[in-house]
């Protein structure tokens, strides 16, 4: 897809190359648009290559950045390597990795959680994030430019509620994982952090629209347990990713940033 010329390159991420997993809809889509708005060339990954992916590529390309799609299942090392090989072939370097991939069936009752479901959750949401981070870090070190690794965790990593045990376990492990990666990559100019979203509305705007956010949640559903008095939007998470991706967040390393409107501070969580 042809890249348009950017007349006034002034973005926070000008010249950076970003790979976002699970990015064709929802939070991943919002991250892709936000980082492209700041001048980053963006590779989006998803297991599906459909109308949503194609429309997002068109939106990104119209912003004057290089936008590429990399289909693949990032729950296995083979799939991860295929996706990153494809990304490197198009972009030649990777500066920022955003691990965002997830599947729709995120909650399941304890006694209905079988080995197949558990393995699927851990393969995509933990193992996949680890080995994508490892491969991306190798490329970052090889390129000598440093980089940023960002993993999407969750408020479910902080508190427990029925039916979210497998998901919460994976998301809690990510918080420990980025601490280890930060330590392991000491002196490499690579940071590793998590973002833990609260209740985020993933409703899409019109498919032709380049808006980041779709319709919000009904604020009445949140006023009793979120101090902000409302649910969150993809832009709330995307702006946190932008902070950690740019020089603004260069001294944040091995940490988890809660973006939840105060949900965890109030010690309440809502399904």
Query: Tokens 């042809």, residue?
Result: 2
Helices (H), the chain: 26-37, 51-61, 77-91, 115-122, 128-143, 165-184, 234-245
Residue 245 and residue 96 in contact, taking contact as beta carbons nearer than 8 Å: yes
User: d(Cα 248, Cα 242) in Å, to the nearest integer?
Assistant: 9
Sign of the CA dihedral with 141 first, then 144, 146, and 150 last: negative
At which residue do the structure tokens 């009904």 appear?
A: 218
Decide if 55 is catalytic: no
Residue 171 annotated as catalytic: yes
Q: Which residues contact 218 (CB under 8 A, 6 or more apart)?
A: none
- Angle, helices 51-61 vs 26-37, to 10°: value is 10
Q: Around Cβ 267, how many Cβ atoms within 10 Å?
A: 9
Query: Which residue among 171, 201, 230, 246 is the active-site one?
Result: 171
Q: Which of 125, 153, 154, 245 is catalytic?
A: 153
The number of beta carbons lying within 10 Å of the beta carbon of residue 230 is 18
| 153 in catalytic set | yes
226 and 211 Cβ atoms separated by less than 8 Å = no
The Cα diameter of the chain in Å comes to 58
**Active-site pick, 167, 235, 245, 246:** 167
Rounded to 5 degrees, φ, ψ at 17 are -115, 120
User: Which are the catalytic amino acids?
Assistant: 153, 167, 171
């Amino acid at each position: 897809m042809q890249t348009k010329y950017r007349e006034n390159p002034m973005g926070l991420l000008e010249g950076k190359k970003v790979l976002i997993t699970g990015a064709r809809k929802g939070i991943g889509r919002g991250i892709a648009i936000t980082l492209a708005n700041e001048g980053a060339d963006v590779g989006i990954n998803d297991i599906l290559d459909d109308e949503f992916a194609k429309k997002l590529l068109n939106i990104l390309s119209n912003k004057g950045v290089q936008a590429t799609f990399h289909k693949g299942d990032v729950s296995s090392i083979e799939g991860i390597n295929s996706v990153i090989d494809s990304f490197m072939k198009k972009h030649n370097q990777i500066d920022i990795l955003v691990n965002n991939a997830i599947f729709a069936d995120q909650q399941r009752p304890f006694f209905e959680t079988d080995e197949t479901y558990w393995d699927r959750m851990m393969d995509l949401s933990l193992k996949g994030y680890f080995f994508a981070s490892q491969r991306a870090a190798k490329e970052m070190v090889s390129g000598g430019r440093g980089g940023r690794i960002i993993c999407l965790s969750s408020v479910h990593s902080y508190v427990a509620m029925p039916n979210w045990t497998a998901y919460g376990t994976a998301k809690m492990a990510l918080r420990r994982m980025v601490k280890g990666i930060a330590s392991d990559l000491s002196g490499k100019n690579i940071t590793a952090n998590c973002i833990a979203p609260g209740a985020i509305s993933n409703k899409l705007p019109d498919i032709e629209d380049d808006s980041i956010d779709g319709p919000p949640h009904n604020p009445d559903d949140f006023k009793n347990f979120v101090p902000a008095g409302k649910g969150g939007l993809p832009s709330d998470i995307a702006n946190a990713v932008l902070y950690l991706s740019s020089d603004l967040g260069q001294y944040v390393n091995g940490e988890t940033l809660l973006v939840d409107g105060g949900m965890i501070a109030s010690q309440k969580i809502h399904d």
